[in-house]
Structure 1
Amino acid sequence: MTRTRVIVADDHPTFRRGLGALLDSLENVELVGEAADGEAAVALAAQLVPDVIVMDLNMPGVNGVEATRRILRANPDIAVLVLTMLDEDEPVFAAMRAGARGYVVKGADTEDVLRALESVARGDAVFGPAIASRVLAYLTRPLSARDPILFPELSDREREVLELLARGMSNSQIAQTLVISPKTVRNHLSNVFTKLQVRDRNEAIERARRAGLGQPDDARAKSPSNLRPTD
């Protein structure tokens, strides 16, 4: 029988080792590595190419969302199952947009965690009961242009700069609006281009407007495209 090869990424050593020992004791699971932070998880994923990574989100340095994004960018066949204390909307949807196939809150029954692991290993998507209801509500509501769910990889300030850029403002106009220096605007835009993987202002504007930025709030709320996240 083929065993599911798993990496556990969590910055709490007691929890990480305990979960790793539990998984490794299962007949159909092989624990191939442990990571104490996101950077280590990315490196181990590239080296070991596991079937599943059980990923915490709140880790030092590179957090779980960014680690998930990097891992799946390099190898989209790896399944990421988020197992975390965070159950607020923003981390849930940020993890989804990064490509996580499952999201379970720590404290769930062991059987629920194991079922989730088996599901994502098969290629299914799975969310705990509390998370599933939020996902359903999210997919049926319009998004605000300033909702961090749209571009979770951006900081609040970077999202503000992108919004003004999508409105057609120049760097100097953005600087005046936000009461910051033109150099700071350029730095924020450089970060935006890098995080969104766009080449220039035009691509950034196009990406932002497809997501609903740069529009009046009332027009955005009526847009059918805002019923679900847009890349």
Structure 2
Amino acid sequence: MSDGIRILLVDDQELIRLGYRLVLEAEADMQVVGEAADGAEAVRAAVELQPDVVLMDVRMPVMDGIAATAQIIERAPAAHILVLTTFDLDEYAFGALEAGASGFLLKDATRDQLTRAVRAVHRGDAMLAPRATRLLIDTFAAGPERRSPQPLPQLTDREHDVFVAVGRGLTNAEIAASLFLSESTVKTHIGRILTKLDARDRVQLVILAHRAGLVD
């Protein structure tokens, strides 16, 4: 199990953490390496354990999930944070996305949805429902900084195509199929795009694509 996805569970309700642990540890490629009951504990645990994925509740005592997400991004930058929320349009969840989370998942998600979400953020895909993506764009990408469609000279033509596809919310597999590339090539392009545009993750790329007017 040492080569599995290392997961940190963060929720102030012990029974919820237990439920997630039972589901995730039944998967051959996942292991729960730690738990935390509030944001401050989560930050300490993330720095110590260096997990691959953090399942992060947003409404907690001591320190909420938004502040914890921001600190973990700064102090354990390799961790991908998946926010747990009760409502799909929760303003706390969007605050965590702005702080650097890779996506969010409803607490009533099925076992399959949970495991797919963990694998998705671990491989670098954003985890956003279509309705949530629309609100994310309306919240962070609208306003005076939105521009007419324009090229980004720092990107090659192929990187531009991949960037637009990410902005449309496509996964690596969907981008690979639509552009006739291998998934490994798509991952390479996305890594270069992140570097050139100084973006941390796919959520930021979605926002940038819409701000640039490249995606409807």
Aligned to 1:7: 8
Letter in 2 for 1:70: Q
SS, match of residue 84 in structure 2: strand
Q: Is the 8 A contact 1:3 1:27 kept in 2?
A: yes
SS, match of residue 42 in structure 1: helix
- Output the aligned Cα RMSD: 2.5
How big is the shift at 1:89? 5.0
Letter in 2 for 1:49: Q
Distance 2:65 2:116 in 1: 21
Letter in 2 for 1:142: G
TM value normalised by structure 1 = 0.58
Q: Is the 8 A contact 1:9 1:36 kept in 2?
A: yes
* Regions of 4+ moved over 3 Å: 86-89, 136-140, 225-228
* CA shift digits 1:43-100 (9 cap, x unpaired): 1101110100000000111000100111111121110000121433522321111100
Aligned to 1:121: 122
Aligned to 2:29: 28
Please state if 1:41 is matched with 2:42: yes
Aligned to 1:19: 20
Aligned to 1:88: 89
How big is the shift at 1:140? 5.0
SS, match of residue 63 in structure 2: coil
- The within-5 A match list for 1:1-231 is 2-88=3-89, 90-139=91-140, 141-142=142-143
Q: Is the 8 A contact 2:6 2:33 kept in 1?
A: yes
Distance 2:130 2:114 in 1: 12
Aligned to 2:204: none
Q: Is the 8 A contact 1:11 1:60 kept in 2?
A: yes
Q: Is the 8 A contact 1:140 1:227 kept in 2?
A: no
TM value normalised by structure 2 = 0.62
SS, match of residue 34 in structure 1: strand
Q: Is the 8 A contact 2:23 2:111 kept in 1?
A: no
Gaps of 5+ in 2: 145-209
SS, match of residue 83 in structure 1: strand
Identity among equivalent pairs (%): 35
Letter in 1 for 2:96: A
Gaps of 5+ in 1: 144-224
How big is the shift at 1:139? 5.0
